[in-house]
């Protein structure tokens, strides 16, 4: 099944903002620079009928890729029964403009990305932790975040880990 409205929308956005097009799981995608995301979000909402930001997440490609992160925006149009994906590659220390002026549902989703990945959004109305305690150090979904005290157990180190593992007292 082909979603003509979504493909036409991605072509129009590419004409207006540049970027690279692609497709994943039947949904068209556009990769845009970070400075274009607010204008692209406004065009999606006001010109192409994508009235809902259905998801906003990030992918951490550390250490394999530069830039480190991709922001992944999923926009939906109920009227046209369409979905599009916009990806924004960003480096670790880059701040991205918030799209809350166009999509209020981005408010908590951007806070979640700040909390779990450490990605900052300029112009966000209330950028603070949303899931982790306010005094938590670090961002748990980053690939360089320490996983905890317990080593991964393999066949070659099973006995070594078992010897150090705490056991309940009887």
Sheet holding 82-90, edge to edge: 20-24, 27-31, 82-90, 69-77, 52-60
SS (H, E, C) 29-47: EEECCHHHHHHHHHHHHHC
CATH architecture of 4-164: 2-Layer Sandwich (3.30)
pLDDT computed for residue 120 by the predictor? 97
Q: Where are the domains of the chain?
A: 4-164
Angle among Cα 141, 38, 143 to the nearest 5 degrees reads 15
End-to-end alpha-carbon separation of the chain, Å? Answer: 63
pLDDT computed for residue 1 by the predictor? 42
Q: Does the model's pTM come out above 0.75?
A: yes
Q: Which three-class secondary structure state does DSSP give residue 82?
A: strand
pLDDT string in tens for the chain (170-residue length): 458 999 999 999 999 999 999 998 888 999 999 999 999 999 999 999 999 999 999 999 988 888 999 999 999 999 999 999 999 999 988 999 999 999 999 999 999 999 999 999 999 999 999 999 999 889 999 988 877 665 666 777 788 878 877 777 65
Q: Encoding tokens for residue 148?
A: 């905890």
Name residues whose C-beta falls within 8 Å of residue 112's C-beta, 6 or more positions apart in sequence: 130, 131
Q: What is the largest CA-CA distance in the chain?
A: 71
């Amino acid at each position: 099944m082909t979603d003509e409205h979504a493909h036409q929308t991605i072509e129009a956005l590419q004409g207006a903002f540049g970027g690279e097009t692609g497709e994943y799981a039947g949904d068209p995608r556009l990769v845009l620079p970070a400075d274009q995301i607010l204008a692209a979000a406004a065009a999606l909402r006001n010109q192409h009928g994508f009235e809902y930001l259905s998801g906003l997440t990030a992918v951490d490609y550390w250490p394999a890729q530069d830039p480190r992160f991709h922001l992944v925006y999923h926009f939906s149009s109920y009227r046209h029964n369409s979905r599009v994906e916009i990806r924004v590659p960003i480096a670790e220390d880059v701040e991205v403009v918030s799209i809350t002026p166009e999509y209020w549902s981005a408010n908590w989703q951007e806070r979640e990305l700040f909390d779990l990945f450490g990605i900052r959004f300029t112009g966000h109305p209330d950028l603070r932790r949303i899931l982790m305690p306010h005094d938590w150090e670090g961002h748990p979904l980053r690939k360089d975040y320490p996983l905890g005290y317990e080593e991964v157990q393999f066949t070659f180190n099973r006995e070594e880990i078992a010897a150090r593992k705490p056991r309940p007292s009887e």
